[in-house]
Amino acid sequence: MDSNNDKSLREAVIEELESVYDPEIPVNIFALGLVYEVKVDDGKVYVLMTLTSPNCPVAESLPMEVKQKIEALDDVIEADIEITFDPPWDEDMMSDEALLELGLL
């Protein structure tokens, strides 16, 4: 794949991330600011993300859901999902859309 394909695949990955919701907050994980980085290289996708807290009840299932949704996309060979808590998530990472949705803006 060339860089244009990587760019369009990255956009498709982000669109897929916008379809994944934290079950406790009615906002998608991308708008919540839980996704720190998305890299695409020849069909291989790397996502660096966090959770709202280390004790999040979906700590095991949410990364698997993200991986499955991304790997279901055409042109994705594999997806590597890495969870980090550095920096820790806070409300300042939320998009304006998320803040509006939650009545915080």
> What confidence tens digit (pLDDT) does each residue in 36-83 have?
999 999 999 999 999 988 888 888 899 999 999 999 999 999 999 999
**Confidence band for 2, pLDDT divided at 50, 70 and 90:** low
**pLDDT value, residue 92:** 92
pLDDT digits (tens, 9 = 90+) for 10-43: 999 999 999 999 888 889 999 999 999 999 999 9
| pLDDT recorded at residue 1 | 45
Q: What percent of the chain has pLDDT over 90?
A: 71
Q: Which domains does the chain have, with CATH numbers?
A: 3-88 (3.30.300.130)
Alpha-carbon separation of residue 70 from 12, 17, 44, 84 (angstroms): 9, 8, 10, 19
